[in-house]
Amino acid sequence: MPFVYRSSAIVLFACLFGVSACTHLGGREPEMQPLRLSQLAAEGDAARRASLRLVVEGLDADVARDSGRAQSRYQRALVVDATNPYAYLAISRQHVEAHDFERALQFLDRAEALLRMQGELADEVAVHLDGLRGGALYDAGDVEASAPLLDRARSLAPSVWGDGELQADELR
């Protein structure tokens, strides 16, 4: 192997080693990036994609404090695809925000069941489930059950769950 190649390979390996060591020695896992629904816009079949777009429009309406329009969008999203777990998740978020914990938990259970069935319960989504459930349980007065859930969400995604709430634009 010519000298130039050998040297280049050694330098490359050294750099890679250095980078990985730095990351490891830093002692902190990189922060997880929780799910944003706009990332999913191109996934699934036509109905799922349309349904997701409607959910995103609903979140936009929630950002604009137009909860009536948001609700309508979520309902339409369910008409297009009644098994879209993210529509239930967005509705649950709306109920948590409105401190309607009973409904929030109902929709959260449904979202979770569908996510599990559809094999989409990754950590990026689970963190929202934990956080929202924690929020709903807190409203329900079950502080003991809510604390570990909210703590977990905070520790996994401090940039989103640091304040213990999930804003519409953070899920969008």
Partner 1 sequence: MAARETGRKKAARKKAAGKKAAGKKAAGRKTAAKKSAARGTAVRKAGARKGLRRKSGGGGEGPRRPGPLTWFVRVLVVAAFGFGVWTSSWLISLDRIVVGRFEGQRFVVPSRVYSAPGILYPGLDAELIDLRGTLARAGYREQTSTTGRALHPGLFRWSGNRLRVYLRAFDHPTRPEPARDIVIRFEGNTIAEIRELPRSREVGAVLLEPELVGAYFGNDREQRELVEIDRVPQHLVDAVLAVEDRRFVTHHGVDPTRILGAVVANLRAGGVTQGGSTLTQQLVKNFFLTPERTLRRKATEAVMALIVEARYSKREILQSYLNEIYLGRRGSTSVHGVGEAARYYFGKSVSELVPAESALLAAIIQSPNRLSPHRNPEQARERRDLVLELMRRQNRLDLAAFNHARATALDVAAPISDAGEARYFLDFLRRQLPEAYDRELLQTEGLHIYSTLDSRLQRAAMRALRGGLESIETNNPQLIAEDSNARLQGCLIAMRPQTGEIVALVGGRSYGTSQFDRCTQARRAAGSVFKPFIYLAALEAQGGAPTATMASFLDDSPLEIETRDGLWTPQNYDHEFRGRVALRTAIERSLNVPSVRLALDVGIDRVADMARRMGVKSRLPQVPSLALGTAEVSPLEIARAYSTLASGGIRPTPHTFEDVTAGDRTLEQRQLELEQALDPGLAYLGVSLLEGVVERGTAQRLRWMGLQGAIAGKTGTTDDERDLWFVGFTPELVAVVWLGFDEPRSIAGVSSSTGPLPIWASFMQEAVGNQMRGMFIPPRGIERFDIDPESGALALSGCPERKSEVFLSGTTPQEICDGKGLRAYAGSDREERIRRARERQQKKRRRESAPGLFGWIRDLL
- Site for partner 1, rule CB under 8 A: 41, 45-47, 49-54, 56-57, 68-69, 71-72, 75-76, 78-83, 91, 103, 106-107, 109-110, 113-114, 116-118
Rg of the chain (C-alpha set): 20
CA angle 107, 109, 112 (to 5 degrees): 110
Which residue, 9 or 79, is less far from partner 1 as judged by CB? 79
Orientation angle between helical segments 143-156 and 123-139, nearest 10 degrees: 150
Which residue, 12 or 117, is less far from partner 1 as judged by CB? 117
Q: What minimum distance in Å lies between the beta carbon of 62 and partner 1?
A: 13
> Distance (Å, rounded) from C-alpha 104 to C-alpha 110?
10
Which residue, 66 or 165, is less far from partner 1 as judged by CB? 66
Q: What minimum distance in Å lies between the beta carbon of 158 and partner 1?
A: 29
Cβ neighbour number for residue 152 with a 10 Å cutoff: 16
Which residue, 91 or 156, is less far from partner 1 as judged by CB? 91
Torsions phi, psi of 23, nearest 5? -60, -45
Q: What minimum distance in Å lies between the beta carbon of 121 and partner 1?
A: 9
